[in-house]
Structure formats: structure tokens, C-alpha cells
Amino acid sequence: MAYYNKKEVLAYAESENKKAEDRKLSPLTPIEKTIEQLDTESEIVGFFWVNITEGEKMNLEGKTFVRIDFNLYTDDRFAIDLLQAQNDEKTVSEIIKERAVEQEDAKSKIDDKTDVEKEIKDTVKRKEK
């Protein structure tokens, strides 16, 4: 499903928060922040945590939801691109091409992925203390 109401976004965040807690991990986005974003009708609402459980590959878990209207959110990439295109008075193709260029630029700035992974793990460990 590509469209959600506040209750469904909150249920997703609570479910993901429980997964992180069950693994004794601190989420990157505290659940309180997600609730605040929903309460204040923020344009972007998200919940993320890094799964760094021993013996498993490190994964970023979570989602970002974009507010389309009152009590209506989406995580669908095309719907987000369409909304951005309307707001910026561009075509969806222009938005997609711009994002591709930005992604390539960002990738070129990351020299070694293992350094990034180590930095994320260190940050998560500091949050746990």
C-alpha cells in the first residue's frame, strides 16, 4: 500500500521500535520524535534504526513518509516525485534525473563503505550509553 493515515504511520513506527528494542538497539529516530512529527503535521515523518545484531549484516531499517494532505501520507517514490514536481513546477522526469545526479555525486564522496559502517556503529553505541 502506498498511502497511509496517521494511525497506520504510527503503528509502523511502533512496530519497528519494538524490533529495535527486542534486539537491544537504540533507534536513530526516537519514537517520541516520530509521534511529535505526526502531532505537528510535519511534511516529513520518519522512523529509522540500524540493525547491527551480531552475526548479521548491518542494515538500515525504517521508512520516510511524506505528508500529502491532512491525515494522508505516502512512502511511494513516484507519488513523492510527482508531489515534488508539482511543488517545483517541473516534470517528474526532471525530478528523477536531478536525484540521479545527486546520488552519483554523493556516492563519489564516499571513499570507503567500511569507514561509513564503522562510524554508524560507533554513533549507535554512543547513543546506547
Q: Residue-wise pLDDT tens for the chain (129 aa)?
A: 689 999 999 999 999 999 999 988 889 999 999 999 999 999 999 999 998 876 777 889 999 999 999 999 999 999 899 989 999 999 999 999 999 999 988 888 776 667 777 777 777 776 666
Per-domain residue ranges of the chain: 3-128
Q: What is the pLDDT of residue 37?
A: 96
Q: How far is CA 84 from CA 37, 90, 92, 102, in A?
A: 20, 8, 8, 15
- 16 Cβ neighbours under 8 A, 6+ residues apart: 27, 47, 49, 61, 62
- As given in the structure block, the three cell numbers for residue 90 are 517541473
